[in-house]
């Protein structure tokens, strides 16, 4: 018989190998505006490139988590979508890399790329800090973004429509101002969407702090996102003369707290603030310059959500500046008392990245409802200590406590020591518990609650539901992985107005005796990698002090004119902005 020719194997280069576990996701670099068209370098609008996860893109651009749908409701106009793909071999192409900024500003496709890229980068910040994929607050995988949604000085997130909507309006001189071109505004609105997915009850009617937290936290993420980008920080400081372009040396006088507070890096939405008719001709908000005072706690002006949010921004951003200045001083001068400009930028970026991660991680250690700033401060301190136990060099936690304390905000837990949450020390039952199931199954988590209602001090007569179970894997500075599981639960007690007295509560006159009233409680349980309960963090539905304060506030704000909590929450962010528009436009939510 004739011998058969040996079968040739396929060349190795042709084999489509599966990705190795732990392999880094490929990244795509895309051009965006560094802040907005008003921030310039040598009279040119400042652009930068942002790296985001590379993924197959449909027209829009449309990816797995972000879908840009460019429909203008005011003009009933659908803009042609930016073409997807942009892949050539192993290189991901940027269609706007070599274009001039005037060309970019007038190109709707660039506007579409700008919002997609900034939203994806903000999503990346959250997922990196949380150690898991981030979810939205609605049923679905994709958030829709409309870069030219309507004519108007507004931008907002809507849970009901699963979208971010950005407006446009004529600025001073008649030139159009597009809110979708402001890095701060896009990151702010994207943060609302991600925070709503992580803590959906934070838009429920509650305290002034909870209303202000959404606004303040979104501002904090927007500011620290910009400050985490070395290219942006270096370019902005160079243009302002803080870093001399040729010698890259900085005078110590230019690196004081007061000098840095006036930087364009610490203002929000410069172009929008300078263009609106009732603006001041400067950045939309510069909360970092506010003079701290504990009196705001009793000032009715600070019950408005935007004003309340500025307190949080001022505390966090002053902490950032204090750490940045301390890190700069640790460098020492390099020539004639001057500092190395490149190192100044590096130290600022490092401080911003640490604080941004710290602020996002704190959400896992914050109560799931009725959040107050004192709760968030303890969550901030705990989240950082769990991952970075040794904080002796730059003392981020001490600085944060000091800047919050200047506003009269003290941690609600262990204020006499480290301010972190008290570890759970009571005896609990683990019978019938399967930890592998607990890491992913809400029913298993509810079983743990059911077995330990008394130990956890939960109200048995309240409706109880486990909202989410979130496994966490975070990398500590020493390279070790910190694994935890967070269980979010909610308790709701529904009573009539005339029944409040039996619970130790005084019925406000705005509540009819027959009106249904919902009292909320809830929190998070944090388990270590062995399935042991580390922290029980929450607000008890039977806490009469908090419940009374909540009812009194809602009565003053006219909440009981709404028929239900759901009616109040519907369109929350758009309404929040419209109420603010009488004074000054703000990214509304």
Residues making up the chain, counted from first to last: 589
Indicate the angle between helix axes 183-198 and 108-130, nearest 10 degrees.
40
Beta strands in 323-404 (DSSP E): 339-340
Over the range 200-219, which residues count as b (16 or more CB within 10 Å of their CB) and which as e?
bbbbbbbbbbbbbbbbbbbb
Residue with tokens 């990196």: 128
Task: Give the per-residue pLDDT at 269.
Answer: 45
Task: Give the per-residue pLDDT at 234.
Answer: 80
The least confident of 3-12, 103-112, 152-161, 442-451 is 3-12
At residue 135, the 3 state secondary structure works out as: coil
**Residue 359, token pair as written in the block:** 């602020």
Question: Which pLDDT band holds residue 4 (cuts at 50, 70, 90)?
Answer: low
Rounded Cα–Cα distance for residues 274 and 154 (Å):
14
Rounded Cα–Cα distance for residues 588 and 586 (Å):
5
pLDDT digits (tens, 9 = 90+) for 212-251: 999 999 999 999 998 998 888 887 776 665 655 555 777 7
Alpha carbon 461 to chain centroid, angstroms: 34
Task: Give the per-residue pLDDT at 321.
Answer: 92
Rounded Cα–Cα distance for residues 440 and 187 (Å):
30
Rounded Cα–Cα distance for residues 496 and 518 (Å):
9
Alpha carbon 528 to chain centroid, angstroms: 25
**Residue 223, token pair as written in the block:** 């500011």
pLDDT digits (tens, 9 = 90+) for 323-338: 999 998 888 888 777 8
112 neighbors 119 (Cβ within 8 angstroms): no
Proportion of the chain above pLDDT 90, given as a percent: 51
Which ranges of 199-297 does DSSP label H, i.e. alpha helix?
A: 208-227, 230-239, 257-261, 270-275
Residue with tokens 């071109």: 181
**Residue 96, token pair as written in the block:** 């706007």
Task: Give the per-residue pLDDT at 123.
Answer: 97
Q: How far is CA 377 from CA 197, 351, 359, 404, 527, in A?
A: 21, 18, 10, 8, 21
Alpha carbon 163 to chain centroid, angstroms: 16
CB neighbours of residue 289 within 10 Å: 15
Task: Give the per-residue pLDDT at 64.
Answer: 94
Bridge partners (DSSP) of residue 146 are: 165
pLDDT digits (tens, 9 = 90+) for 475-505: 877 777 888 999 999 999 999 999 999 999 9
Which ranges of 106-182 does DSSP label H, i.e. alpha helix?
A: 108-130
Half-sphere exposure of 105 (CA within 13 A, CB side): 19
At residue 255, the 3 state secondary structure works out as: helix
**Residue 140, token pair as written in the block:** 């679905």
Nearest residue to 202 (alpha-carbon basis) of 362, 370, 337, 364: 370
Task: Give the per-residue pLDDT at 429.
Answer: 93
Over the range 250-271, which residues count as b (16 or more CB within 10 Å of their CB) and which as e?
bbeebbeeeebbebbbbbbbbb
């Amino acid at each position: 018989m004739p011998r058969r020719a040996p079968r040739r194997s396929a060349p190795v280069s042709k084999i489509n190998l599966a990705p190795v576990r732990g392999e880094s996701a490929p990244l795509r670099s895309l051009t965006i505006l560094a802040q907005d068209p008003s921030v310039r370098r040598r009279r040119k609008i400042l652009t930068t490139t942002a790296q985001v996860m590379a993924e197959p893109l449909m027209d829009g651009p449309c990816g797995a988590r972000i879908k840009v749908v460019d429909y203008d409701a005011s003009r009933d106009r659908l803009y042609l979508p930016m073409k997807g793909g942009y892949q050539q071999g192993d290189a991901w192409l940027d269609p706007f890399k070599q274009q001039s900024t005037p060309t970019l500003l007038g190109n709707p496709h660039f506007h579409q790329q700008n919002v997609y890229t900034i939203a994806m980068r903000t999503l990346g910040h959250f997922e990196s800090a949380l150690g898991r994929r981030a979810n939205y607050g609605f049923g679905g995988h994709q958030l829709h973004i409309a870069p030219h949604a309507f004519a108007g000085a507004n931008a907002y997130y809507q849970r009901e429509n699963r979208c971010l909507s950005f407006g446009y309006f004529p600025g001073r001189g008649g030139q159009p101002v597009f809110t979708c071109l402001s890095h701060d505004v896009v990151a702010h609105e994207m943060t609302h969407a991600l925070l709503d997915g992580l803590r959906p009850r934070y838009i429920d009617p509650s305290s002034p702090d909870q209303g202000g937290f959404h606004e303040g936290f979104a501002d904090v993420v927007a500011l620290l996102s910009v400050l985490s980008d070395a290219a942006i920080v270096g370019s902005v400081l160079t243009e302002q003369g803080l870093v001399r372009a040729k010698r890259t040396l900085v005078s110590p006088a230019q690196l004081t707290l007061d000098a840095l507070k006036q930087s364009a890096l610490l203002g929000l939405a410069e172009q929008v603030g300078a263009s609106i008719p009732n603006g001041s001709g400067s950045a939309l908000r510069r909360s970092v310059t506010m003079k701290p005072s504990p009196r705001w706690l009793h000032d009715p002006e600070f019950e408005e959500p935007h004003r309340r949010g500025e307190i949080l921004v001022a505390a966090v951003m002053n902490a950032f500046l204090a750490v940045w200045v301390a890190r700069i001083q640790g460098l020492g001068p390099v020539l004639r008392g001057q500092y190395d400009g490149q190192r100044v930028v590096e130290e600022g970026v490092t401080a911003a990245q640490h604080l941004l991660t710290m602020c996002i991680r704190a959400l896992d250690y914050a109560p799931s409802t009725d959040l107050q700033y004192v709760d968030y401060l303890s969550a901030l301190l705990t989240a950082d200590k769990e991952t970075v136990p040794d904080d002796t060099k730059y003392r981020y936690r001490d600085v944060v406590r000091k800047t919050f304390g200047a506003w009269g905000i003290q941690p609600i837990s262990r204020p006499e020591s480290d301010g972190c949450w008290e570890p759970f020390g009571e005896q609990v039952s683990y019978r019938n518990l399967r930890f592998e199931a607990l890491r992913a199954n809400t029913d298993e988590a509810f079983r743990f609650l059911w077995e330990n209602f008394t130990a956890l001090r939960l109200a048995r007569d309240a409706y109880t539901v486990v909202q989410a179970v979130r496994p966490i894997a975070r990398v500590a500075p020493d390279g070790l992985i910190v694994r935890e599981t967070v269980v979010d639960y909610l308790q709701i007690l529904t009573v009539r107005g005339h029944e409040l007295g039996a619970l130790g509560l005084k019925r406000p006159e705005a509540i009819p005796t027959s009106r249904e009233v919902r009292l909320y409680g809830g929190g998070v349980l944090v388990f270590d990698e062995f399935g042991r309960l580390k922290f029980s963090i929450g607000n008890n539905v039977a806490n009469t002090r908090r419940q009374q304060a909540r009812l009194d506030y809602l009565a003053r704000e006219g909440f009981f004119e709404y028929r239900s909590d759901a009616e109040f929450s519907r369109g929350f962010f758009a309404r929040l902005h419209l109420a603010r528009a009488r004074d000054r436009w703000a990214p509304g939510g």
